Amino acid sequence: MIKALFYILILGCFFNSSAQPLKSTISQSEVLIGQPITITYQTTLHENDSISFTPKQSIIKARLVTDPSESTATEIDLELLKPFQDTSIIKTDSLKWIGEYQIMTWDSGIFIIPGQHFTINGSTHTFPDLTIASYLTNPIEGIDIYDIKESYAELPPPSFSPTQFIKANWWWLLILLFLVIVFLTFRRSKKDIQKEDKSISVSLKDRTLAAIDTLESLNLWEKEQLKEHFIELSYILRSYLTARYRITLLEKTTYETRIILTEKGLKPETIDLIVRILSQSDMVKFAKSNPNTAVVQNILTLARKIIIETSPTESNLA
């Protein structure tokens, strides 16, 4: 009996000394959309251990749960802000390995990040899963989070006030005025040749480029209206893609837009440019990003490039 206990004690000491615990941590478990998040993986190794870890390159797969009461989840890509970094800290009789990712979310909900695999001496181990709660605004205890993908609490209808309506919806009025200008410009640009009974209409490409030119001429970013500028640019680009490919993008998120355009067969490089513009718009609207004039001009140039490259050529129209 004593001999058996002795062997058990030896085996227990062996397993404890050879075990490498894998630890996953996250800088913040609750964040706002567009806020950087740091994921840290770490483990303790022996000096002669052989290790293998394959880091993600540009995205990390996660499962998005918009409602904690639901069991269904949607697979989603989380953007890597910078390349994976790892380091090793040498101690007296061991080696501490630490690896870090920095990511960002563009959707609200609960994200479950599956733990990555880590091979030690030919044996594969898995880091623990991580959970992040992402919000559009700061959460308030006892009040549901409001988002375009969530249900809204019922509030009593306010009394109608023209002054308050104009203040609350002035940028919609600006869009309406802008559309009226575009419509009048379109009407004036039409040439009616009665003798030949033909009319020349402005193409979708020209209308959209004219809309971008008009928006640029307003110089809203110089009038402390940077957010309104990007809202309008996003609307112009989404309206163009909706008309060009007969899809609905006006109420879609940037992530959903990427999926729809991929299904339509657009070139990956074209989709990347579109997502880049929409992501910049999201950062200004939600993360209060403040790009300089050079960045704003570059985004306008990219928008024109997308319109030109995705429009049919004159020979195709003939």
Q: Do 91 and 227 share a structural domain?
A: no
Domain boundary among 135, 152, 174: 135
| DSSP-based three-state secondary structure for 29 | coil
CB 37 within 8 Å of CB 103? yes
Phi, psi of 254 (to 5 degrees): -60, -40
Residue 10 within a domain: no
pLDDT the model gives residue 9: 37
* 172 and 307 part of one domain: yes
Q: Which residues of the chain, if any, have pLDDT below 70?
A: 1-20, 66-72, 92, 138-162, 164-167, 190-201, 314-318
pLDDT of residue 89: 76
| DSSP reduced 3-state for 148 | coil
Tell me what pLDDT residue 243 has.
93
**Nearest Cα to 107, choosing from 139, 63, 57?**
63
Asked if 68 and 112 sit in the same domain, the reply is yes
pLDDT value for 70? 59
Residue 281 lies in a domain: yes
- The answer on 304 and 171 residing in a single domain is yes
* pLDDT of res. 240: 94
Residue 265 in any domain: the answer is yes
CATH number, position 118 = 2.60.40.10
For 206, the domain range is 166-191+198-311
Query: Which positions ≥6 away from 131 have C-beta within 8 Å?
Result: 29, 110, 111, 112, 113
Strands 117-120 and 51-52: antiparallel
Q: What is the pLDDT of residues 135-151, one digit of tens each?
A: 777 665 555 444 433 33
Helix (H) / strand (E) containing 316: helix 314-317
Tokens representing residue 94 in the block = 């061991």
pLDDT tens across 164-188, in order?
666 677 778 789 888 989 899 888 8
